[in-house]
Structure formats: C-alpha cells, structure tokens
Amino acid sequence: MPKMSCFLGLYVCLLFIGLVASSKFEELFQPSWAMDHFVHEGDLLKLKLDNFSGAGFGSKSKYMFGKVTVQLKLVEGDSAGTVTAFYMSSEGPNHNEFDFEFLGNTSGEPYSVQTNVYVNGVGNREQRLNLWFDPSKDFHTYSIFWNQRQVVFLVDETPIRVHTNLEHKGIPFPKDQAMGVYSSIWNADDWATQGGRVKTDWSHAPFVATYKNFEINACECPVAVTSTNNAKNCSSSEDKKYWWDEPMMSELTLHQSHQLIWVRANHMVYDYCADTARFPVIPAECVRHHH
C-alpha cells in the first residue's frame, strides 16, 4: 500500500510503495517467553525482569529492507546488570542480526547503548556509546533502517551507526535473509555493567522496560518463499518502486553525516575498529569506512 515516507528527518516526503504495519503490539508481535512478565496498560507495554525471569517478544512476520521503530523508556534507578535489547535477526547458524543493547547502570551513571552487526553468523562488531540524555526518564525513539546499501541505527532520528555495503571489496553484506524483529529484557550481570564488576541488586526488582508506538514499515516476507525470491520481491523494479531503494536512501545526507560525526566524537566509548588488542589486524570493513 502507498506510504508517505519521511526518512531520517528528511524535509521532503515522497510517495512510494511500502508496507506499513499497524502500531498495535498484538497485530505485529507475540510474546516469546514469560507471558506472566508482560503488563498492558492502555497503549503501553511493560516487560518485567525479576530474579525468576526476564521476558521477550518477537514479530509475527519476517522482513527484508525497510525501517522498524519502537519508543522505549528504559529501567529507572539502579539498573546495573540488566540488559534491554531491541534487535532484528534471521535464523540459523549463518544468521544476520542488527542489535541495540541497552546496558543498565548504577544510579547516576550514564546509560550506554551497545550496537552490533552479525553477517553470516559472524558478529564481534560492537560499538558502545553513552546516550546524551537519560533514557529512563522519558520515551525515546529507536530505529533500524536497512536496504541493499546500508544499515543505519538511529536514536531520535539521529544516526549513531552506519554499516555500509562493501561487497565490491569482498566483504559480505546482510542483504539475503529475511529478519524478525525482537525485544527482551534479561539479567546479564556477568558482563553488562562495568564488564561484570557490578552485579544486579535484586532488592530493586522488578526492573521494568516500557514500550509504545511500534512501527514496521518494511517488506514482509512469506515464510515459504526462498531468500533469492525475497530479495527480488523486496527490490524496486520497472513495475514497482519501494521507498527504501530511492537514491536518497543510499547514503546519509550531509546533515546526517554531521550528526554521526558529532555522536562518534562526543559519545562513543568503545569501537571494535579501534580495539587493537582484540583485532591486531584492523577488520577489513574498518579500513576506509566508519562502521
């Protein structure tokens, strides 16, 4: 169906074909585990973590190319040891995956978000930054945009990471597997806060992450269709035009590039590309591009 698509704060909106899914949780998603840790309050969905269980949900469909968005208010107060994740993933050992992982903190410390990209089952592409606001005090918008040229992670429409297609350099790019959309909250005090030095204080449980305004504007892929056909069906042709394939979506605008530079310069605290202890040889995708 037609969709007025405005991407990444662009001022020009153009009419292209896209798939627009409802913002109602129950139409897009279903609980994956611990249904008794879900709380519905009007338009809000709350996921609880206690010393019995966390909770998670996944999309009913899988998608290839487009944009997925959620508004999220993270765990308030002392959230050390907890992780709230919002991510996309395909299935199998050679899966592709795009991760937002929000790492809990001790009260008063900045909340950090870790992103990661898996391609054909290989990850180890972590970047971590401290957010420039307190994400536990109000809702903020977190999005993943994906087409054949790039994967873009956005916070309140500000790009915080771009993973560029460098197939012409022999580097695989995640463009051939349909992906589900997922979110969860769980205890990860073996690594989440200060490298695992700060453990979860269960006296502060339950830890609650609150969601609203789910949106999936992407190409829905039938389960029975092969990946080759999915890629073809979700790409523009003479017969159909998808908004994510338009030339303006192939790279960041100048303004967005400046935003990304600002984020990296002022808020990034870890970049796998600069970790020579882990990677004595710089990963190939890091040589010429910021990822």
Q: Give the model confidence (pLDDT) of 35-75 as tens digits.
A: 999 999 999 999 999 999 999 999 999 999 999 999 999 99
Residue 57 tokens, joined: 């949900």
Residue 135 tokens, joined: 């994400």
46 inside domain = yes
45 inside domain = yes
The Cα 62–Cα 174 span in angstroms is 14
How long a stretch of residues is the chain?
291
Q: Tell me: pLDDT of 281 over 80.
A: yes
Overall pTM surpassing 0.75 (yes/no): yes
What integer pLDDT is reported at residue 9 of this predicted model?
44
51 inside domain = yes
- Whether 101 is a known active-site residue: answer yes
Of 50 and 18, the structure prediction assigns the larger pLDDT to 50
8 inside domain = no
| Options 26, 76, 101, 220, the catalytic residue | 101
What integer pLDDT is reported at residue 110 of this predicted model?
83
Distances (CA, A) of 73 to 36, 127, 210: 20, 21, 5
Q: Tell me: pLDDT of 289 over 90.
A: no
Q: Tell me: pLDDT of 187 over 70.
A: yes
Boundaries of domain holding 236? 25-279
- Of 4-8, 110-114, 145-149, 233-237, least confident by mean pLDDT is 4-8
What integer pLDDT is reported at residue 4 of this predicted model?
40
Say whether 245 sits in a helix, a strand or coil: helix
- Whether 215 is a known active-site residue: answer no
199 inside domain = yes
217 inside domain = yes
Mean pLDDT, to the nearest integer, of 28-40?
93
39 inside domain = yes
What integer pLDDT is reported at residue 188 of this predicted model?
83
Q: Tell me: pLDDT of 12 over 50.
A: no
The Cα 193–Cα 244 span in angstroms is 36
The Cα 19–Cα 67 span in angstroms is 10
Q: How confident is the model at residue 21 (pLDDT cuts 50, 70, 90)?
A: low
Q: Tell me: pLDDT of 142 over 60.
A: yes
What integer pLDDT is reported at residue 274 of this predicted model?
94
What CATH number does the domain containing 161 carry? 2.60.120.200
Q: Tell me: pLDDT of 3 over 60.
A: no
Of 4 and 24, the structure prediction assigns the larger pLDDT to 24
The DSSP line for 164-208 is E--GGGT---S-SS-BEEEEEEEE-TTTTTGGGTS---GGGPPEE
DSSP β-bridge partners for residue 112: 103, 130
Q: Name the burial class of residue 161, with classes exposed (0-12), middle (13-18) and buried (19+) by CB atoms within 10 angstroms of its CB.
A: buried
The rounded mean pLDDT for the chain is 88
The Cα 230–Cα 176 span in angstroms is 8
Q: What is the 3-state secondary structure (H, E, C) of 73-110?
A: ECCCCCCCCEEEEEEEECCCCCCCEEEEEEECCCCCCC
Of 153 and 289, the structure prediction assigns the larger pLDDT to 153
Q: Tell me: pLDDT of 288 over 80.
A: no
Closest CA to 129 of 102, 162, 99: 102
What integer pLDDT is reported at residue 19 of this predicted model?
57
Q: Tell me: pLDDT of 13 over 70.
A: no
Residue 208 tokens, joined: 């609650």
Instruction: Convert the pLDDT of each residue in 201-235 to its tens digit.
Output: 899 999 999 999 999 999 998 876 677 788 888 98
CB 14, CB 6: distance < 8 Å: no
Say whether 160 sits in a helix, a strand or coil: strand
As for how many domains the chain has, the answer is: 1
The Cα 265–Cα 162 span in angstroms is 15
- Of 112-121, 124-133, 145-154, 227-236, least confident by mean pLDDT is 227-236
| Options 26, 27, 97, 109, the catalytic residue | 97
30 inside domain = yes
